Structure 1
Amino acid sequence: MPLPTSVKSRRTAILIAAGAPAFSAAVELFQLTDVPARLAAVFPASRLVLGTTFAVPDRVA
C-alpha cells in the first residue's frame, strides 16, 4: 500500500534533517587528516566543499 504524500514528504524531511548534521560532522572529522589539503592542491574546487583545516567553532555552527 503506497504511503500518502504528506507522510512521504515528512519522512524525507526527517532524513534530510538527520543527514545534514551527520555530513557536517563527517567533513569536520575528515579535516583532521591531511587528505582535504592534498585534494585542494590538486582540485582547488574541493576546498569549497571540504575545507582544509579543522576548527572547533565550526562544530558549534
Structure 2
Amino acid sequence: MTEFQYYRGAKAVDLADGLPVEVISDPLEALREGLRGVSIGSLLITGSLYFISDVRNHYLDEILERRSP
C-alpha cells in the first residue's frame, strides 16, 4: 500500500492500520517493489485517477527516454 501527495489524500499507514499489508510511502518505490514480485503476468494498480496519472506519466517518460536514439 502506498500514498501520494494530494491535499485530500489519506496516509497509507492510517488506511493500513490493522491490515496485513506492507506500507511503502513512496509510490514509485512501491511500484518497483510490486514489479519485483511479478514473474509473468500483470501488476494491478488501483487508486484515484490522480494517482494513476502520476504513476503513468513517470513510467511513460521513462519508456520514451529509452526509445530515443
Would you say same fold, with TM above 0.5?
no
Q: Which has the higher contact order (CA 8 A, sep 6+)?
A: 1
Place the TM-score, normalised by the shorter chain, in its bin: 0.3 to 0.5
TM-score, L = length of structure 2: 0.31
Choose between structure 1 and 2: higher helix proportion: 1
Larger radius of gyration: 1
